[in-house]
Every structure is written in structure tokens, then in C-alpha cells.
């Protein structure tokens, strides 16, 4: 059987009625890490994967979205939904099996169907408007790897919400600082503004994070390593 096209799947997705009130989603995931990775970074990756699995199991909206052929679009969709649509996130467990070098996490959160629908539309518009595909959901290069992207209370103003980006150093590079770029797009897919942060790597396996104030919910974003 021929798979539905992206346009058809999106039409079905956005045409579904929104259910009333918040719904609970849950997911779990295990991440097996290597000798060059820290438990702290592996824990963040396992939580990120658990959040994605929670959304992948959420019907009817994301169930349709994951059937889209464009992997880059799915990655961008999940990155935005895990930050903007998952509320009251709880990490139910996060356990390490030292013998297997594995961390397993389970999460639970609330989602508003109407917010999911709005975010899907915004992400699709942004994706369609660009001439090049976005980077992967958790991008990496030879120096840095993004291990988690989440919504977090701003430390400088706890009444505001920020985007919390966590990165791990893959190798030592004391004389260089490496850029992390965040591009925000409006609901029509037009780039609104770009922010860069630079991270240093005194040692391999160092983990650091930074916060950026979240713009209104109608904006979508891409985090990449230029």
C-alpha cells in the first residue's frame, strides 16, 4: 500500500477536532552510553527519548505526524512539541544499570490537543517556507552534542519560561568556543530572529547548559550547531 503524502497526512492531522481539556501522555526509553559519555549526559538523552516516545504514542495528532516521510520535519516537530506542548512534565524514574552502561527513564506530562494542533501547523509552515532542511532533533558535530532541549523557569525571572539547552563536549578544545544557534520562526515560517551562544570545552565530557527566554507560543524554533 502506498504511504500517504506529507500534504495529505497534514490535512488529516489539522482537520481533526480538538478534544476538550488536557490529556495525559507517558513514555519511557533506555539509552546505552559509551565509555566517553557521562551518566549525567546519558540521563538527559534518555529523558529526551522518553518524551519523544510519549508523543509518538499520543493519538490522534502525532500518530498521523510520525507517518510523514520527511525525517527532518518529524525531528523538528518533536523538538517543538516536547518544549511547547508538554506541560507539568514529571520524570517518574531515571535509573542506571552500570553493568549494561544503560540509563532508563520514564516520564509523564499533560498535553492540550488544541496546542498540539497549533504547533503542528506552525512547524509545518516554517518547514515549508525554508529552502534547506533543518538539522536533526538532537544535533551534534565534532565538538558538541545537544543532549536535551526543554522548557524551564528562567533563573533571572522565575515568572517567565525559558528554553533550556543542554550540551556535552565531545573533545577538549580549550582555545575555541563553539557556537550553538537558535532560530525562531513565526507562524508563517518566516525567520524572526536568531540567537547564538558560544560554549567552551575545557575537557571532553563536560556538560553545560544555557537559558533563553521563550517568545510567544506561535513561534517555532530550530537548535543547530553551525
Read off the pLDDT of residues 173-203 as tens digits, 9 standing for 90 and up: 888 999 999 999 887 777 889 999 999 999 9
Count how many residues are written for the chain. Answer: 226
- Rounded to whole angstroms, how far apart are CA atoms 71 and 133? 10
| Residue given cell 507560543 in the structure block | 217
Looking at residue 4, what is its pLDDT?
40
pLDDT tens track for 4-57: 444 434 444 444 444 457 889 999 999 998 888 888 889 999 999 999 889 887
Q: What b/e readout covers 39-66, taking b as 16+ CB neighbours within 10 angstroms?
A: eebbbbbbbbbbbbbbbbebeebbebbe
What average pLDDT is seen over the chain? 80
Which three three-digit cell numbers place residue 114?
488544541
Which three three-digit cell numbers place residue 116?
498540539
Q: What is the CA radius of gyration of the chain?
A: 18
> What fold, for 144-224?
Immunoglobulin-like (2.60.40)
Q: Which residues are CB-contacts of 15 (< 8 A; sequence separation ≥ 6)?
A: none
Indicate if 144-224 has the same CATH topology as 6-129: no
| DSSP category for residue 57 | T
Domain residue ranges of the chain, discontinuous segments joined by +: 6-129, 144-224
Q: Which residues are CB-contacts of 140 (< 8 A; sequence separation ≥ 6)?
A: 146, 170, 225
Instruction: Answer whether 179's CB lies under 8 Å from 173's CB.
Output: no
pLDDT tens track for 104-163: 999 999 988 888 877 777 777 777 666 444 455 688 899 999 999 888 888 888 888 899
Looking at residue 2, what is its pLDDT?
38
* 1.10.10, 3.10.129, 3.20.20, 1.10.1200: CATH of 6-129: 3.10.129
pLDDT tens track for 55-92: 887 765 555 555 555 667 777 888 888 888 888 999 99
Instruction: Answer whether 199's CB lies under 8 Å from 153's CB.
Output: no
Helices marked H in 60-187 — which ranges? 61-65, 71-84, 113-129
Amino acid at each position: 500500500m502506498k504511504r500517504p503524502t506529507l500534504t495529505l497526512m497534514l490535512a488529516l492531522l489539522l482537520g481533526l477536532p480538538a478534544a476538550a481539556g488536557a490529556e495525559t501522555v507517558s513514555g519511557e526509553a533506555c539509552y546505552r552510553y559509551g565509555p566517553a559519555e557521562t551518566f549525567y549526559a546519558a540521563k538527559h538523552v534518555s529523558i529526551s527519548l522518553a518524551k519523544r516516545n510519549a508523543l509518538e504514542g499520543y493519538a490522534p495528532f502525532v500518530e498521523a505526524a510520525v507517518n510523514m516521510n520527511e525525517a527532518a520535519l518529524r525531528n523538528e516537530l518533536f523538538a517543538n512539541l516536547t518544549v511547547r506542548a508538554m506541560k507539568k512534565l514529571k520524570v517518574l524514574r531515571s535509573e542506571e544499570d552500570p553493568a549494561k552502561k544503560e540509563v532508563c527513564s520514564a516520564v509523564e506530562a499533560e498535553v492540550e490537543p488544541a496546542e498540539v494542533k497549533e504547533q503542528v501547523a506552525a512547524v509545518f509552515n516554517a518547514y515549508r517556507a525554508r529552502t534547506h532542511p533543518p538539522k536533526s532533533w538532537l544535533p551534534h558535530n565534532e565538538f558538541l552534542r545537544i543532549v536535551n532541549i526543554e522548557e524551564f523557569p528562567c533563573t533571572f525571572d522565575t515568572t517567565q519560561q525559558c528554553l533550556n539547552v543542554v550540551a556535552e563536549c565531545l573533545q577538549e578544545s580549550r582555545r575555541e568556543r563553539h557556537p550553538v544557534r537558535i532560530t525562531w520562526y513565526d507562524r508563517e515560517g518566516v525567520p524572526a530572529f536568531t540567537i547564538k551562544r558560544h560554549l567552551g570545552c575545557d575537557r571532553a565530557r563536560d556538560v553545560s547548559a544555557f537559558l533563553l527566554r521563550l517568545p510567544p507560543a506561535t513561534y517555532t524554533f530550530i537548535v543547530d550547531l553551525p
